[in-house]
A and B are shown apart, each in its own frame.
Chain A
């Protein structure tokens, strides 16, 4: 108990802060912050597995998040039959061609020895392959995008419950991580950082511009939900009676029947959105707890010890007969898969998929700030980092506004400096994140909750 005191204290402070938001701002805001904190926590757990356990830098978090989101779309949206009829055949043929190309290249790599001829041969296969695939896919893509472009214009998905996409998203992200890892993991740390950052940008530009698959910047809206809809809740009897029960004291004070009904309606509307958010919180909390148990088990298993050995001294681990390359690839895939789950959760919560909103600042660098601030190598630290940083990210604007008002209290309300500062309040969050990161790196380089390895 004593040992974990700082963990308990840190988490209680965080919970109290969220409760304070609930009391002073509204429970809706508090719960949406809490949900986003949970999603961020999943992302930081993924990044922490890679960075904290194995010392691999992955600046491609944005790409895996987006792939998770794509999985949510592809799983939950109903298939669009017309689009499939219009261009499905071409797309499927191209898919077969891609698989064929990969198989041929693999075959060549296996059968022939490394030579200039082989390299050029593979390059020419790739180039001709891309041209053939483009020629086959082009008419199909055009036909698909022409099907009711204002509403669909893409292939749609499989029409399954969106919850499945959390698993599929993990597989998508893991698959991408496999390819990226094969290509880039041999690089030195800072090269790896840049390479993964750029690869994630490539992924985003594909998601943004392949309209037949993702609708691109036209966005996909109105995705299915694992939670009930507010509108339905507001007409359900058990929910109304539940709200009545919760607020019976408040309602009893109102004697006028009509007033009472109006208040109740208002409460039901508020309560329904809180209830939906609570449903999401429950689901997300479940994911976080399961992942936390698994990652903690892994950390203290022989495998976790091996990962730390590889992180701390690669050569020694190699000499002890551990396959460093294989383990690096494995952990790269596992971490990215967890990020993929978070990506799918994010889209599930929002109910919409907006490829244009994936930006490295928000989805890569912010997550890294969370990991560093929370404490890399410590799962509780990483989760706490997700909570603290997201809380500050959201609450930075009100805090900034307060500070601006405090410092410019002597100035007239229409003074240009004050007006300018108030307009730029949203950007104070960048300042806070940057200063926070710099201070933590300088004075507490291991994060708020540092890595602590106990040997039992």
Chain B
């Protein structure tokens, strides 16, 4: 019984939150990795592009709510996401046309493109803050919990409750669906394969008749979809605040590099590596040990490896260690 309680405790406080957070990071990390693999630069505007997509989702959600459309138990935002994606793709293509294309045509070094992406970051951040403001926004509606902690306790008679939020299930489900479609697209369709070829060797790809314009356009379209959905899911699960999204860029980068930058599958797993290690290392295991150890051995301290203040620092330290020992990432990078 105590063992079961301990497992439920870990599920509730570590496993499910980490899986959700990891999924959100994974979507962002695939976004970073795709841009890096095909357009060949580190996109510092990642976080702000995600916040832009989320902002549009929120605006559509408000619009739908105001005219009385809702999805019942599901959040209205789900209905708004497709429209937001269209907007986002348009925005991405505009940025590419007016900003990035010039440098691509000139074959500028990646560093210069990264600097340009900082300019895009400033502008996007300004637009988001001017339109929706810097404050915290919650746009979740519908049923909040699938299982409440109290109900679970009653149902099973255990001491520990298991609360599953609907946003958590939604996040995991949508991520798996989206990532499977993406991998199917990259591995099985002709366009996907040509993207891989382009990422692998640009000159050879051009020689075999692949149209670079099309590849770049499709990359931005996929990036737009990933940024909007990733951002909206994060916003639904936690809340939307431009500053948090900017900060999320850092663990997303960490996930992409840990997984091997340029490798979408690596980025996907990298998201979970970062999320799990952040939560594993900063969780206080006192209660867990109280369940599994006999009474005489109960720990007195919190049994916490690192204080939660160092949550971000954990993922960055992992990144530094990975960079030192395996600079190409855990899963070899640069093979899209």
Contacts and interface: CB of A to CB of B under 8 A. Distances in A.
B222 interface: no
Given A193-B42, A434-B120, A427 B130 contact: yes
A54 interface: no
A191 interface: yes
A205 B317 CA distance: 12
A202 B317 contact: yes
Interface in B112-135: 112, 114-116, 118-127, 129-130, 133-134
A20 interface: no
A441 B130 contact: no
B205 interface: no
Given A205-B310, A427-B134, A434-B121, A189 B111 contact: yes
In the complex, which of the residues B246, B312, B313, B327 has the most CB atoms of chain A within 10 Å of its own CB atom? B313
A397 to B, nearest CB: 13
A411 interface: no
Nearest to A205: B313
Contacts of B116: 437-438, 441
A78 to B, nearest CB: 27
A190 B121 CA distance: 16
B114 A193 contact: yes
Contacts of A205: 309-310, 312-313
B126 A434 contact: yes
A418 interface: no
A431 B125 CA distance: 8
Contacts of A183: 320, 323-324
A19 interface: no
B189 interface: no
A68 to B, nearest CB: 20
A412 interface: no
B118 A368 contact: yes
Contacts of B109: 189
B150 to A, nearest CB: 34
A57 B129 CA distance: 28
A197 B122 contact: no
A430 interface: yes
A369 B126 CA distance: 15
Nearest to A421: B130
Interface string B298-335: 00000000010110110011011001100100000000
A431 B121 contact: no
A99 interface: no
A372 to B, nearest CB: 6
Interface residues on B, range: 35 or more
A183 B317 CA distance: 12
Nearest to A426: B129
A424 B121 contact: no
Contacts of B324: 183
B118 A199 contact: no
Contacts of A199: 316, 320
Interface string B32-47: 0000000001101000
Interface of B is mostly: helix
A427 B126 contact: yes
Contact of B316 (A190, A201, A372, A421): A201
Contacts of B127: 431
Nearest to A364: B118
Given A428-B130, A431-B130, A438 B120 contact: yes
Nearest to A198: B316
Contacts of A428: 126, 130
A209 B309 CA distance: 7
B102 interface: yes
Contacts of A209: 307, 309-310
B319 A190 contact: no
B250 A434 contact: no
Interface of A is mostly: helix
B37 to A, nearest CB: 13
B257 interface: yes
A157 to B, nearest CB: 23
Interface string A192-212: 011101110110011011000
Contacts of B114: 189-190, 193
Contacts of A437: 115-116, 118-119, 122
Nearest to B111: A189
B253 interface: yes
A454 interface: no
A359 to B, nearest CB: 8
B254 interface: yes
A198 B309 CA distance: 15
B110 interface: yes
A198 B130 contact: no
A369 B123 CA distance: 13
Given A201-B312, A361-B246, A191 B118 contact: no
B174 interface: no
A61 interface: no
B317 A372 contact: no
In the complex, which of the residues A57, A202, A361 has the most CB atoms of chain B within 10 Å of its own CB atom? A202
25 contacts: A183-B324, A184-B320, A187-B323, A189-B109, A190-B41, A190-B111, A191-B261, A191-B323, A193-B111, A198-B253, A199-B316, A202-B313, A206-B313, A365-B118, A423-B133, A424-B130, A427-B129, A429-B126, A430-B126, A434-B119, A434-B121, A434-B123, A438-B120, A441-B115, A445-B112
Interface of A: 57, 183-184, 186-187, 189-191, 193-195, 197-199, 201-202, 205-206, 208-209, 361, 365, 368-369, 372, 421, 423-424, 427-431, 433-435, 437-438, 441-442, 445
Interface of B: 41-42, 44, 99, 102, 109-112, 114-116, 118-127, 129-130, 133-134, 246, 250, 253-254, 257, 261, 307, 309-310, 312-313, 316-317, 319-320, 323-324, 327
A-B pairs, 8 with minimum CB distance: A434-B122, A434-B123, A431-B126, A430-B126, A437-B119, A198-B316, A427-B129, A209-B309
Given A431-B126, A434-B123, A437-B119, 15 more contacts: A183-B323, A190-B42, A191-B257, A195-B319, A197-B250, A198-B254, A205-B313, A361-B246, A368-B115, A430-B125, A433-B122, A437-B115, A437-B116, A441-B119, A445-B112
